[in-house]
């Protein structure tokens, strides 16, 4: 088996490797991607820490800044949410995107399982869109509530989902209208970067993280994957999260043939850090 570890690390094309090797998924490849500990985080709370390379500074993630061409392809940078996600657009979201979102959701649920109580769990999916992440979590045995600001997205999600999923429409820049302390886990896939659009984005983020913390049980955790436009945005998100949570920022590759993705794995601290 060690020989496969060596070959995966040296092979330039992971897609080719995936095609030729029936062993790809059965090898436990050590992930040497970076991980950053938020202030006051007790390393013993993070069981997968040793799979990563600890960095003392977020800039060591070497997150690239988006160029103008890249910005044009990013819905959150193009325009108003309701203009971007029309009913037509919501219905168009295709099976390729579904594969990527499912891989990210599985990775995210893997972290969740690693951290706490056994399945099934009650999970809140923030920025659920057409429910790709919500349905994927439900297929893994969880009871899931998806929330989103956009009516067309939620309509599509609701039309496709099983009875393990429920949805409602709400703007997560405002406190989330949910009873406190009931969710085992909160997840969000490709959503957090939508909160950094306003001039007052740090305050929006802080309100958001505080609200998420309120929804969680004391033992609960929040795991989010997001696409930053530059390193400054990541630092802003991590700083806002650090006011409320402990945890880690990490980079990993949930789909073999796609690039590294950023994840925040956040836990409630024993002692409250900040109250909104
Ligand atoms: C890229 S989609 C992700 C969809 C879904 N998580 C998935 O994996 O398929 C981002 C979603 O965030 C939602 N969103 C953006 N701003 C929001 C806000 N302020 N409150 C709630 N949802 C929001 C959008 O409507 C959109 O459905």
Tell me the per-residue pLDDT of 14-28, one tens digit each, with 9 for 90 and over. Answer: 555 555 444 443 333
Above 70 in pLDDT, residue 54? yes
CB-based contact 225:188 (threshold 8 Å): yes
Neighbouring residues of 250: CB distance < 8 A, sequence distance ≥ 6: 33, 34, 35, 36, 52, 262, 263, 265
Tell me the per-residue pLDDT of 176-216, one tens digit each, with 9 for 90 and over. Answer: 999 999 999 999 999 999 999 888 999 999 999 999 999 99
Helices (H), the chain: 2-10, 14-20, 68-72, 75-78, 81-84, 87-92, 95-115, 132-139, 151-160, 201-215, 231-242
pLDDT at residue 95, rounded to an integer: 66
Torsion sign over Cα 147, 150, 155, 156: negative
Which ligand 1 atom is nearest residue 93's CA? 9
pLDDT at residue 258, rounded to an integer: 79
pLDDT at residue 5, rounded to an integer: 40
Residues across the chain: 276
pLDDT at residue 86, rounded to an integer: 86
Is the CB of 196 within 6 Å of ligand 1? no
CB-based contact 147:126 (threshold 8 Å): yes
Residue 48: pLDDT band (50, 70, 90) is very high
H/E stretch holding 221 reads strand 216-226
Above 70 in pLDDT, residue 140? yes
pLDDT at residue 162, rounded to an integer: 87
Is the CB of 210 within 6 Å of ligand 1? no
Whose C-alpha lies nearest to ligand 1, atom 25?
Answer: 150
What is the C-alpha to C-alpha distance for residues 261 and 254, in angstroms, rounded to an integer?
7
Above 60 in pLDDT, residue 51? yes
- Within the chain, all domains assigned CATH 3.40.50.150 are found at 33-267
What is the C-alpha to C-alpha distance for residues 148 and 126, in angstroms, rounded to an integer?
6
Q: Which of 51-55, 202-206, 228-232, 253-257 has the lowest mean pLDDT?
A: 253-257
pLDDT at residue 96, rounded to an integer: 65
Please state the CATH superfamily assignment of the domain spanning residues 33-267 in this structure.
Answer: Vaccinia Virus protein VP39 (3.40.50.150)
Which ligand 1 atom is nearest residue 189's CA? 6
Above 50 in pLDDT, residue 3? no
Ligand 1: distance of its center to the CA of 72 in Å? 18
Short-list 112, 157, 80, 92, CA closest to 267? 112
Beta bridge partners of 263: 225, 250
Whole-model pTM: value is 0.86
Tell me the per-residue pLDDT of 100-129, one tens digit each, with 9 for 90 and over. Answer: 888 999 999 999 888 866 667 999 999 999
pLDDT at residue 272, rounded to an integer: 67
Ligand 1 mutation target, pool 80, 81, 89, most atoms within 8 A of CB: 81
pLDDT at residue 23, rounded to an integer: 41
């Amino acid at each position: 088996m060690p020989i496969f570890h060596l070959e995966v690390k040296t092979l330039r094309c992971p897609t080719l490797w995936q095609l030729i090797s029936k062993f790809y998924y059965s090898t436990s490849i050590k992930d040497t991607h970076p991980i950053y500990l938020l202030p006051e985080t007790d390393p013993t709370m993070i069981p997968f820490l040793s799979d990563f390379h600890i960095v003392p500074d977020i800039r060591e993630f070497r997150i690239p800044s988006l160029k103008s061409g890249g910005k044009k392809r990013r819905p959150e940078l193009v325009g108003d949410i309701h203009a971007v996600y029309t009913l037509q657009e919501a219905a168009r979201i295709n099976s390729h995107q579904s594969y990527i979102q499912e891989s990210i959701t599985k990775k995210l649920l893997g972290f969740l399982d690693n951290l706490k109580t056994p399945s099934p769990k009650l999970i809140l999916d923030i920025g659920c869109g057409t429910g790709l992440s919500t349905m994927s979590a439900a297929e893994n045995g969880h009871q899931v509530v998806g929330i989103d600001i956009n009516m067309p997205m939620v309509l599509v999600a609701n039309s496709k989902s099983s009875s393990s999923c429920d949805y409602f429409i709400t703007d997560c820049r405002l406190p989330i209208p949910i009873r406190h302390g009931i969710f085992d886990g909160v997840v969000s896939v490709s959503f957090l970067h939508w909160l950094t659009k306003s001039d007052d984005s740090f305050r929006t983020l802080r309100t958001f993280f505080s609200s998420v913390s309120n929804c969680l049980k004391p033992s609960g955790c929040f795991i989010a994957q997001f696409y930053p436009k530059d390193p400054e945005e990541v630092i802003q998100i991590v700083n806002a999260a650090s006011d409320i949570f402990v945890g880690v920022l990490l980079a990993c590759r949930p789909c073999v043939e796609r690039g590294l993705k950023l994840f925040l794995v956040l836990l409630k601290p024993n002692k409250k850090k900040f109250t909104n």
